Amino acid sequence: MQSPPTTPSKRNTSPSLFFRCLDLVLPWLTPQELAMASLTCTTLCNLSKSITLRRASDASRSLEPHPIPFRNSLDQHPYAYFIYTPSSLTPSSSSSSLLRQPWGSSHYESDSDTRTETSSLRFVDESGNCASSGCECAETCEDGKEGCPCVVGFAGFDGVVFECGPSCGCRLSCGNRLTQTGIQVKLKIVRDRRKGWGLYADQFIPKGRFVCEYAGELLTTKESRLRQEMYDELSSGGHFSPALLVVREHLPSKKACLRLNIDATRIGNVSRFINHSCDGGNLSTALVRSSGALLPRLCFFASDDIKVDEELTFSYGETRLNSKGLRCFCASSCCVGILPSEQT
């Protein structure tokens, strides 16, 4: 007797495989897309909730040594959505590869080699080859002791920290690469009723300790001005906070300066949540140059001992050209009431 044909409903039925596929797809969705998917059925609703919880548990998407959680007891915003990069990106790499980024999958694990370096922009010789200007130390430079040429740095650059770079023979464990191993201190992102999100210490941070670098998209001056015009218009409603930072480094000749435009509004790291303080805050900034790298990086160091649960802040500057700019809520004794603004 011939057996009955298999009905389509019984073919390739594997609920566990179906759920695994969903867990791979849903983390690529934006919050709005994820919310729409959660309305489809109970299964998608439950998966969306678990993804939201995982997103809130680590803003860095496992790209940093420690998870950096969101904490919010004020409203219904569990996290802030943005594309994460540990180090700054050039426009070509950010536009082509980071239109979306997986975030929230229970199977997603970062690759230790995914850290992107600003130092990918290197000095080249007349033939177009990378100029090797790093040290030849085998594994470590013994915490910057004499003998390592990188300690000497670039003659004439004042107030700049010098480290080993991509052309050096030493490893990341070298004592002269303190800002190149990710965020080693424990941090958290906390929701404030007036400021919005802010970055806080989740451990004691001693004075002088490296905290993080300011990472985002590296823009040309023309592009940064165009974005600033757009951000000013969006900020006029009071519900948009841009994170475009302009850094100027005076060259040894004192006749020119290098302008660095870093936009962490759409693509950046947790430094985008550091708020301004009119009294200078508890973080100091320093330009860090690595041997063989063309551009410096802006890094934050603790300017004083920082206690657990203390907010991390620094001064955005002193110039305030817009008398109707965004309000400042730093609550310091010298608070001006308006966030710094200048012509970019």
The predicted pLDDT at position 15 comes to 61
Contacts of 119 (CB under 8 A, 6+ apart): 165, 166, 290, 292, 293, 294, 295
State the pLDDT at residue 119. Answer: 42
Say what the pLDDT of residue 31 is: 96
pLDDT tens for each residue of 140-190: 776 545 567 776 655 556 668 888 888 888 888 888 888 999 999 999 999
Please tell me the predicted confidence (pLDDT) of residue 111. Answer: 46
The pLDDT, as a whole number, for residue 121 is 53
- Look up residue 191 and give its two tokens: 């929701």
Model confidence at 107, pLDDT cuts 50, 70, 90, reads low
Report the DSSP pairing between strands 83-84 and 267-268. Answer: parallel
Backbone φ/ψ region at 101: left (φ over 0), alpha (ψ -120 to 50), beta: beta
Separation of alpha carbons 83 and 70, rounded Å:
15
Global pTM value: 0.85
Instruction: Give the pLDDT confidence of 315-343 residue by residue, as tens digits.
Output: 988 776 666 677 888 988 889 888 887 66
For 224-244, what is the mean pLDDT? Answer: 84
Domains and CATH numbers, the chain: 22-57 (no CATH), 58-96+113-314 (2.170.270.10)
More confident site: 143 or 102? 102
Share of the chain above pLDDT 90, in %: 48
Question: What is residue 160's predicted lDDT score, i.e. its pLDDT?
Answer: 81
**pLDDT for 183:** 97
pLDDT value of position 117: 43
pLDDT in tens, 235-258: 776 678 889 999 888 776 667 778
pLDDT of residue 128: 46
pLDDT band, residue 303 (cuts 50/70/90): very high
Integer CA distances (angstroms), 104 to 56, 101, 131, 262, in order? 9, 10, 41, 26
Residue 342's pLDDT is what? 67
Other Cβ atoms within 10 Å of 102 Cβ, number: 14
